[in-house]
Amino acid sequence: MKNTISYDKAFEELQTIVAELEDGEIGVDELSEKVKKASELLKVCKEKLSSTEEDIQKILKELD
């Protein structure tokens, strides 16, 4: 999965996966697939948050 997915969409998908896990809606056969997908989504979210933080820091430095 590339960073082509938006943060909001990735976070929404993560919430869906978590809800399915909490509700017991995911069978054993799907569990591995869902965990892998969640891991990819978490990576995308982390990268986007880090990038945004760097951008904000640059802007703040320019304002000083």
Q: Is residue 2 part of a domain?
A: no
Give the pLDDT confidence score for residue 24 in this predicted structure: 87
Read off the pLDDT of residues 6-63 as tens digits, 9 standing for 90 and up: 999 999 999 999 999 899 878 888 999 999 999 999 999 999 999 999 999 999 999 9
Range of the domain at 31: 7-63
How many structural domains comprise the chain?
1
DSSP 12-64: HHHHHHHHHHHHT-S-HHHHHHHHHHHHHHHHHHHHHHHHHHHHHHHHHHHH-
Q: Is residue 15 part of a domain?
A: yes
Q: Is residue 39 part of a domain?
A: yes
Q: Is residue 18 part of a domain?
A: yes
Q: Is residue 1 part of a domain?
A: no
Give the pLDDT confidence score for residue 41 in this predicted structure: 96
